[in-house]
Chains A and B, each alone.
Chain A
């Protein structure tokens, strides 16, 4: 069942001359882990904001074409209505946390929705547990590391129990281990809870191990849409200049030199596994 469906989606920010999105038509099925990528300014951030209605309701401007998210028409539903079904986690962890301590922040969305107190308590505890930050409950956001803050932001959105969670470059400000931890948490949410994930990310090598659907955008248009292996291995991806995983690049180099590996690896583990087979064989 399609949980997000867009047809010929076109959008221009108010006062802008160039289109931010042009004829974007994609389908995202329930339970998928989608990686959305492309060079800076390609429209991936704008597309994310269409999923929960920030575009067009918060930014204004004209949204043409159709977009239906969890059965709701985005243009006809308010942001707070869509927020019940789609959660958005942003790039900068600091600017998503407003309360003076973690627990209050996680409860914020539920308080806005008017959820009864006992339910808030249960959901907050559950969200803190799922993101592994129960011990940070009473801490002030300013005392936390970037990675911890980002996990709090994820818990804040998770507590609202959305069907879809969209992550806009959530690991930009984090170091590699912090980033890995975030990907693990997101992977768990997708696998264990069946939440559909849309992850905007440049570091494809880190994200590729979790995803089963990759969409590449350039200049407002969708240029590639399909299975990770196909997308990373394609010539178009290389020409656009996205950060194709080195594992895939290496296999492309070897293919050009006449070494056939059989399968296209997207992660380092896959690459070493395949290479071991091929080299042992010879």
Chain B
């Protein structure tokens, strides 16, 4: 469990990135932290694995204050997949890349071999085992980065802007993959401003603006509230946009999913022939 208590954070250059933020993420939850660029989302999640320590307030991971733990120790529990895989890749083969963190954490060689094979298989990368990561395409490099984090089986997986530059099919694969992770009881936190993707995943949403949390709740509640959406400078999902205009006809306005939208319309037509 991750508990954030009244955390404020100011960068050395004076920028106040977080202002008295409080949040609790339960084990096994799927949370999307949303808001425009500069709202403080990435700053907040960097506190979860100790990369940043609060200027004031406390962050507790499984009851232990992050100030008392090193990044390496926290990273064992909290895996962080950075936005740009090219900020991590440096090994000669994909195999070594995936094994890197395992070696840092002191796993035995036999375990490392098993874990690497497992992670590569999970992300369809087995054929690239001996390939240089630099030879792979953008999408494949993203998968290598993800594999290298899942290899050590952290309890929590944080994905920072995982949908940037991805096409429709890749996003769909990612969504299904996240579903798999949550089925394995992992806590998944995504940092994103991709409203459509969140609408399709339907996670618990934490909406941020200017260093504060302005709303928290199910995706359906938060993303269909025009005031909150404006406050956080994001746009509502397309389905919501359509139905907000149909409010005066008596149709529900809290829809984000296209299948529910169809049901609502069909029901309406049946009720009013």
Contacts and interface: CB of A to CB of B under 8 A. Distances in A.
Q: Do A and B interact directly, with beta carbons closer than 8 Å?
A: yes
Given A246-B258, A257-B266, A272 B246 contact: yes
A60 interface: no
Interface in A204-222: 205
A174 B172 CA distance: 20
A275 B242 contact: yes
Contact of A40 (B38, B137, B272): B137
A233 interface: no
A253 B239 CA distance: 13
A202 B168 contact: yes
B265 A254 contact: yes
Contact of A279 (B139, B166, B168, B268): B268
A276 B233 CA distance: 28
Interface stretch (A159-167, A189-197, A223-231, A237-245): A237-245
A276 B258 contact: no
A175 B39 CA distance: 11
A175 B242 contact: no
B272 A176 contact: no
A271 B238 CA distance: 10
A173 B83 CA distance: 11
A195 B242 CA distance: 31
A269 to B, nearest CB: 7
Contact of A173 (B164, B169, B245, B266): B164
Given A247-B242, A269-B245, A280-B249, A175 B269 contact: no
A75 interface: no
Interface string A63-89: 000000000000000000000000000
Contact of B193 (A175, A241, A254, A273): A175
Contacts of B37: 145-146, 174-175, 178
A125 interface: no
Contacts of B168: 39, 202, 241-243
* Range class of the B interface residue count: 35 or more
B138 interface: yes
A180 interface: yes
Q: Is the interface of B mostly helix, strand, loop or mixed?
A: helix
A103 to B, nearest CB: 24
Interface string A230-268: 000000000001110111011001100101000000001
B238 A202 contact: no
B38 A276 contact: no
A172 interface: yes
Nearest to A145: B37
Nearest to B170: A40
B238 A268 contact: yes
A276 B246 CA distance: 7
A243 B258 CA distance: 14
Nearest to B194: A176
A61 interface: no
A249 B246 CA distance: 18
Interface in B226-273: 233-235, 237-239, 241-246, 249, 251, 258, 261-262, 265-266, 268-269, 272-273
B36 interface: yes
B204 to A, nearest CB: 20
A89 to B, nearest CB: 16
B127 interface: no
B158 interface: no
B195 interface: yes
B165 interface: yes
Contacts of B249: 276, 279-280
B87 to A, nearest CB: 14
Contacts of A145: 37-38
Contact of B169 (A241, A259, A279): A241
Given A40-B166, A145-B38, A175-B36, 13 more contacts: A38-B167, A176-B235, A177-B233, A178-B36, A180-B235, A241-B168, A246-B237, A268-B238, A272-B245, A279-B249, A279-B265, A279-B268, A282-B273
Interface of B: 36-38, 137-139, 164-170, 172, 193, 195-196, 233-235, 237-239, 241-246, 249, 251, 258, 261-262, 265-266, 268-269, 272-273
28 contacts: A39-B169, A40-B167, A40-B170, A145-B37, A146-B37, A175-B233, A176-B235, A178-B36, A180-B235, A241-B168, A243-B167, A245-B238, A246-B258, A250-B239, A250-B262, A253-B262, A254-B266, A257-B262, A259-B266, A268-B238, A268-B242, A272-B244, A272-B245, A272-B246, A275-B265, A276-B246, A279-B246, A282-B273
